């Protein structure tokens, strides 16, 4: 559960720079105006949807290979830190099948925001700050009765909320996540059928998923249509509430199209629908209520539907022997969150097996309908949260990846990414959440061996 929060900004990236795969694609054939070979080699057709396959024009099994990666995630301000080790093994099974194994081991430590605390300032110079409640979201429940209402003047022209600050867990916590999944692909002419399954385990969170997708190449190999479905079943047993066990089910549907426009350019479009049902609240998050001097557990709706549209344009630039990727993502959900993402990357071969990939990305989202940094009183709607991930904000990120083909079989990659989240960066109107602003850095090292 905590790992999902630690990677909140990474989750916004549907294809993180450090994890993007640059697999060469098979030629389409002499009868079609197939893309330039360098464009194919520099283009990843990934539209990341958890548990679903990467669309590709290749109609043959992947070559046998082993990927090993290490990633370090560090939030600024002594907050969360994640160490991640990832492995991927691909085994072709004859001419028509391949099998892929993925394994992930994440270790997380640090502190996390659990609620926001308002401060009252008056024109006569008084500053009234509600007491910080003794709460440990990882080891103890949020209090149900924290004392009498605070003695404070009414909020009017003389006294008003002057500032808000986040309250973090009293003690740092540690957790690990172990994830394993496998995927079986069957290749039959212009069709590729994929079936996947996996499990993930944390101290307080267990998840199992299955997926099915179909890819069809047509139009003399210039077009690829992808359709997919995945189902995840999750069980949450929060450490701060030993008697609580909740379930969640997540359905995801994908429809995508890849279209070659010329030897030097192609476009990709993906439409996904996510439908989550069950317990969608975060049991470690609270919201401060001024009227009762309490930090009560947040409450979110028990269903969320979200639509996502991804459009990508890729062009090979012969004069530089490089590829330009331009992405736009749009997301909207019935929680009231609307998001826009613009991203550009440039994959530049440097010679002698080296390549350099800089990337820049901008993200903006509106706030959820039930988001508030704090409450005067509990609303009649019954839904409320002060989780900074549901606030309106914008974010810039910059990344750089350096790759070296040591031999024809071995490739080495080194990457870094920096992320800056600011309330003032948001495009949409929203409540000020500058007190939640933060940043993080990711550093990665990976090795690919084809054998």
Q: Give the three-state DSSP class for 17.
A: helix
Residue 56 is predicted with a pLDDT of 42
Report the alpha-carbon distance of residue 130 to residue 155 in Å, rounded: 14
Q: What is the CATH number of domain 2-112+173-450?
A: 2.40.160.40
Q: 115 forms bridges with which residues in the sheet?
A: 167
Residue 177 is predicted with a pLDDT of 95
Residue 4 is predicted with a pLDDT of 46
Q: Is the pTM of this model over 0.75?
A: yes
Residue 125's Cβ-count burial label (10 Å; 0-12, 13-18, 19+) is exposed
Residue 230 is predicted with a pLDDT of 97
Residue ranges covered by each domain of the chain? 2-112+173-450
Report the alpha-carbon distance of residue 257 to residue 268 in Å, rounded: 6
Evaluate whether 380 touches 416 at the Cβ level (below 8 Å).
no
* Three-class HEC string of 278-347: ECCCCCCCEEEECCCCEEEECECCCEEEEEEEEEEEEEEECCCCEEEEEEEEEEEECCCCEEEEEEEEEE
- Sign of torsion over alpha carbons 231, 281, 279, 381: negative
Q: 307 forms bridges with which residues in the sheet?
A: 273, 332
Ranges under pLDDT 50 in the chain: 4-58, 134-137, 139-140, 143-147
Per-residue pLDDT tens for 308-331?
999 999 999 999 999 999 999 999
Residue 424's Cβ-count burial label (10 Å; 0-12, 13-18, 19+) is exposed
Residue 293 is predicted with a pLDDT of 76
Helix (H) or strand (E) holding 10: helix 8-12
Residue 266's Cβ-count burial label (10 Å; 0-12, 13-18, 19+) is buried
Evaluate whether 49 touches 87 at the Cβ level (below 8 Å).
no
Per-residue pLDDT tens for 26-76?
222 223 333 343 333 333 322 222 333 333 444 789 999 999 999 999 999
Residue 155 is predicted with a pLDDT of 75
Residue 170 is predicted with a pLDDT of 61
Residue 21 tokens, joined: 């795969």
Q: Percentage of the chain surpassing pLDDT 70?
A: 81
Q: Give the three-state DSSP class for 209.
A: strand
């Amino acid at each position: 559960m905590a790992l999902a929060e630690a990677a909140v900004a990474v989750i916004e990236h549907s294809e993180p720079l450090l994890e993007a795969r640059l697999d060469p694609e098979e030629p389409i054939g002499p009868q079609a105006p197939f893309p330039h070979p360098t464009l194919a080699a520099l283009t990843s057709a990934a539209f990341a949807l958890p548990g679903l396959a990467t669309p590709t024009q290749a109609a043959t099994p992947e070559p046998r290979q082993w990927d090993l990666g290490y990633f370090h995630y560090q939030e600024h301000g002594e907050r969360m830190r994640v160490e991640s080790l990832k492995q991927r093994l691909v085994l072709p099974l004859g001419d028509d099948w391949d099998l892929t194994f993925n394994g992930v081991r994440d270790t997380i430590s640090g502190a996390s925001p659990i609620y926001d605390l308002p401060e009252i300032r008056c024109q006569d110079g008084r500053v009234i700050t509600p007491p910080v409640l003794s709460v440990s979201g990882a080891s103890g429940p949020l209090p149900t009765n924290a004392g009498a209402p605070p003695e404070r003047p009414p909020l009017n022209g003389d006294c008003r909320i002057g500032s808000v600050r986040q309250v973090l867990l009293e003690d740092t916590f540690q957790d690990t996540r172990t994830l394993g999944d496998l995927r079986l692909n069957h290749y039959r002419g212009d069709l590729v059928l994929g079936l996947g399954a996996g499990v993930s385990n944390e101290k307080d969170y267990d998840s199992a998923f299955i997926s099915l997708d179909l890819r069809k190449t047509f139009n003399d190999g210039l077009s690829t249509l992808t359709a997919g479905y995945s189902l995840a079943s999750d069980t949450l047993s929060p450490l701060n509430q030993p008697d609580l066990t909740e379930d969640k089910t997540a359905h995801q549907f994908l429809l995508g199209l890849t279209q070659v426009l010329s030897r030097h350019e192609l476009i990709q479009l993906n439409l996904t629908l996510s439908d989550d049902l069950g317990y969608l609240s975060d049991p470690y998050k609270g919201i401060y209520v001024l009227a009762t001097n309490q930090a009560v557990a947040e409450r979110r709706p028990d269903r969320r539907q979200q639509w996502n549209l991804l459009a990508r344009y890729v062009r090979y630039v012969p004069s530089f022997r490089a590829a330009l990727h331009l992405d736009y993502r749009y997301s909207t959900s019935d929680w009231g969150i609307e998001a826009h993402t613009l991203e550009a990357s440039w994959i530049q071969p440097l010679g002698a097996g080296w390549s350099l990939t800089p990337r820049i990305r901008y993200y903006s989202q509106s706030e959820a309908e039930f988001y508030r940094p704090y409450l005067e009183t509990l609303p009649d709607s019954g839904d409320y949260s002060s989780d900074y991930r549901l606030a309106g904000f914008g974010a810039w990120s910059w990344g750089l990846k350096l790759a070296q083909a040591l031999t024809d079989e071995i490739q080495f990659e080194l990457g870094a990414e920096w992320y800056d989240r600011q309330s003032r960066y948001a495009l949409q109107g929203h409540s000020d959440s500058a007190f939640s602003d933060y940043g993080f850095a990711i550093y990665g090292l990976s090795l690919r061996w084809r054998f």
